[in-house]
Structure 1
Amino acid sequence: MNEDNTTQIYTNKTILTNDAANESTGKMKIFEGIFKWISLSIFGGIVILNIIVIGLLMKQKKKSRMGFFVANLAYADLCVGIFHVLPETIHVWFEVDWNEFTCHIFYGYLAPFSFYVSTYAIVVLSIDRMNVVVKPLSPVTRLRIYKYGLALSAWILGSLLAIQYSVHTTYYPPQNFDEDVCLHEFPYDPEIRYFDVCVLIIIPIIFIITCYIMIYMAIHRRHTCKFMTSNSNSDGMHERVNFYAKMRTVKQLFVVSVVYVICWIPLFSASLLCYYNELQFGITYRVLVGQAPLNSLTNPIVFLLFNHNIFCKCRKSSNKNAIVLKTNSSSTNVKIVNATQL
């Protein structure tokens, strides 16, 4: 086993290199002691917050497309916590030995699978938001096959992309080394690194930017054509309420996308720098790599911040989703459009 050419996209305590040997042992022990509790806290936060989001969406009487795709993202982020963060916390930071099953199933397949699904759940959410704004009256986007097919595509793609990691996962029992070793060994090391940069960063960003360009063009075109009328009738008011609710969901998705890039770029930067010997495998490397799961922690936080009103059970008017608007001629009922109802 050539340790210098071993692909290490995801963290693993069992890869011992000459660079790690040069790291101060005292500093590493302090860092590991702190970071194992941070990792456990991240796992707890991912599980609790995403379960809260799923529970709140399931309690809503009126289901919506936005709520459906946000729940899809929450399920994917929950998988990141269970399939990646939890095994890493147990086996890496709390130093519980790997075994053949956990190595090949969790580290080999389910960890990369969860990352891929979480990434493309954001992409399909972007595509759906684009369709809501660009084609609001399209009958196709209202079909169940569209909704479930689009959401399922992220899971199918993730399951296919993770196969390569499962095939190239190797487990070495303790008798081969000082401790058990679980790692990915690729014969095409630089290629897989750049492949993941493309699949997990470049391609999703291209899709998301394209969706935002389409959304901007649609909004600009409608404003130019005076789509948002200034009359005081109920139809005009309803159109404006719908428009601002849609814009709120677009802003929410924009924040999710920016946080995604911020969390993932350090991982791939560290991976490539380490491969080209520009960065040692030590504290800095592990801090950079450890930021990736934070994306699954921040997604539910963003949702809850943008939709904090769903906590206000005391407001009966919010539960009924209706207000009464008085016009000069008569009183008219107009529904409040929540960001999660589109």
Structure 2
Amino acid sequence: MGSRSNSSEKATTEEGDVYGRFALVKAGILGLVFLLATCGNIFFLCILWKRRKRNTKTQLFLLHLCLADLVVAFFQVLPQFLMEITHRFRGTDFLCRLVKYLQVVGMFASTYMIVAMTIDRYHAVCRPMVSFLKGSFRRYLSIGAAWLISLAFSAAQISIFSLQEVQENQYECWATFIEPWGSRIYITWITMSVFVIPAVIVLYCQIRICTTIYFNMKRKALQAVRAGTKGVSKGVSSAMLKTVKMTFVIIMTYTVCWSPFFVVQLWSAWSPSSTPTQGLSKPSVCHHYAAGQPQQLHQPVDLSLLQLKKNLMHHCRRSISKGHLRYTPHAWRTPH
């Protein structure tokens, strides 16, 4: 009898040690995510501030995209990091609902700001006259709509989450679903609204943008050949092509980073091995969003790398124009 008691106590101690190490690893990852996301987005905000005199149409979207990512960092990743450190939610019921609400606001805002930016590029390339006449108004309208949609779609968090007593005098910020299928419906709704629907909209716009650019350049090339000119005029400006490339990089990063997360979430909720009441446990629903924010790290990095490339190309063009370098179709040569 004594040996059984000792064995159970030993097993309990080992489980506690494993849980403690796992919580420490999660806290370390969340802390790293917070630092990288904060520093990366603040760094890119500084770049935008330095370039404020050469304000472009896309910079307004990039500004709000960085702000949305900072909302994720401070109101999603940071609270989750603190909860991993303290092992409990330290706050009132109001604070619990507010934190969970703001956690999803940032996630929605980051997603729909990408959608708004892509739609703006779609109008600029595919409908240039409409974009020219209503461009400024449409941009502010789309940004405002992105924030309003984020605030509205996140409202469900307020009723789902609450401060609950899990043990005597121990409280957690947990989710409660009205029916057994609630967790599955919730995860499916989040997947559709954050990933599937935005991805479809963005994919459609990007395909239309690419096809429009291709046919425009092809038409200009044919016109140049018929006119007998040596140079082939591009149908789309280099600035617009750079903007499209930057938008494409952001979209690809967004898709690659989000896909594994939502696939795992849907599988865990709808797999045959999980019953409707086991789709996602309460702690899992409370915590699962904090692990799904890699795009907040990649977006400022991708944008900064594109900016660095642009600066390098600018210096190269200046060197060529001053005669330091001369480009031929075969190689780079110094002037004779």
**Which TM-score applies when normalising by structure 2?**
0.75
Q: Which amino acid aligns with 1:160?
A: A
Partners of 1:310 and 1:76 lie apart in 2 by 25
Q: For structure 1, list consecutive stretches of 5 or more residues without a partner in the other structure.
A: 1-20, 327-342
Is the aligned partner of 1:126 residue 2:108?
no
**Aligned residue among 200, 206, 210 for 2:200:** 206
Change in CA separation of 1:89 and 1:198 when aligned onto 2, cut-off 3 Å: same
* 2:98 is equivalent to residue 105 of structure 1: yes
Counterparts of 1:90 and 1:40, CA distance in 2:
9
Distance 1:298 1:177 in 2: 42
1:28 to 19, 33, 41: 19
Residues 1:295 and 2:287 aligned together: no
**Residue 186 (structure 2) pairs with residue 195 (structure 1):** no
Equivalent residue, structure 2, for 1:271 = 265
Greater shift in the superposed pair: 188-197 or 198-207: 188-197
What does residue 217 of structure 1 align with?
211
More helix by share: 2
Give the secondary-structure state (helix, strand or coil) at the position aligned to 1:226. helix
**Counterpart for residue 152 of structure 1:** 144
d(CA) in 2 for partners of 1:136, 1:323? 33
Deviates more, 1:42-51 or 1:287-296: 287-296
Counterpart Cα distance in 2 of 1:225 and 1:143:
26
**Aligned AA (2:302):** V
Q: Deviations over 1:105-157 (max 9, x none)?
A: 112x1001111111101111111121222133435565432121111111000
Letter in 2 for 1:248: K
Deviation, 1:265, is 2.8
Give the CA deviation at 1:307.
Answer: 1.1
Counterpart code for 2:304: L
1:29 to partner: Cα distance: 2.5
Q: Return the structure number with greater relative CO, CA threshold 8 A, min gap 6.
A: 1
Query: Aligned to 2:54, which of 62, 67, 81?
Result: 62
* AA at the equivalent of 2:136: R
Kindly name which structure, 1 or 2, has the bigger radius of gyration based on alpha carbons: 2
How far apart are residue 244 of structure 1 and its match?
A: 3.3
**Matched residue, 1:170:** 162
> What is the deviation of 1:258?
2.3
Distance 1:66 1:76 in 2: 15
Q: Are the aligned partners of 1:134 and 1:215 in contact in 2 as well (CA < 8 Å)?
A: yes
Counterpart pick for 1:115 among 97, 107, 126: 107
Identity of aligned residues (%): 21
Give the AA of the match of 2:32.
Answer: S
- In the other structure, the counterpart of 1:71 is 63
Change (3 A) 1:69 1:323: farther
SS of the counterpart of 1:30? helix
**SS where residue 207 of structure 2 aligns?**
helix
Tell which deviates more after alignment, 198-207 or 260-269.
260-269
Contact 2:88-2:172 within 8 A present in 1 as well: no
Q: Aligned equivalents of 2:173 and 2:126: distance in 1?
A: 47
Structure 2: distance between partners of 1:317 and 1:207: 37
User: Runs of 5+ in structure 2 lacking a partner?
Assistant: 1-11, 324-336
**Amino acid in the other structure paired with 2:207:** I
> Which of residues 248, 252, 258 is equivalent to 1:258?
252
Deviation at 1:57, TM superposition (A): 0.9
Which whole-Å CA distance do the structure 2 matches of 1:212 and 1:112 have between them?
Answer: 26
Whole-Å separation in 1 of the counterparts to 2:76 and 2:16: 26
Q: Distance in 2 between matches of 1:125 and 1:200?
A: 16
**Structure-2 separation of matches of 1:291 and 1:152:** 27
SS in 2 for 1:225: helix
Maintained 8 Å contact 2:24/2:84: no
Question: What's 1:86 paired with?
Answer: 78
Give CA deviations for 1:18-70 in whole Å, capped at 9, x if unaligned.
xxx9x954443323222212211111111111111112112211100111111
For residues 117 and 57 of structure 2, what CA distance do their matches in structure 1 show?
9
CA–CA distance in 1 between the matches of 2:45 and 2:230? 38
Comparing 248-257 with 207-216, which one deviates more in the overlay? 248-257
| Partners of 1:276 and 1:249 in 2: CA distance | 39
- Aligned partners of 1:64 and 1:96: how far apart in 2? 46
Contact 1:134 1:218 in 2 (8 A): yes
TM-score by length of 1: 0.74
Counterpart of 2:28, as a letter, is W
Q: Cα 1:183–1:270, aligned 2, differ >3 Å: closer, same or farther?
A: farther
- Kept in 2, the 8 Å contact 1:267–1:289? The answer is no
Equivalent position amino acid for 1:102 in 2: L
Cα offset for 1:301? 0.6
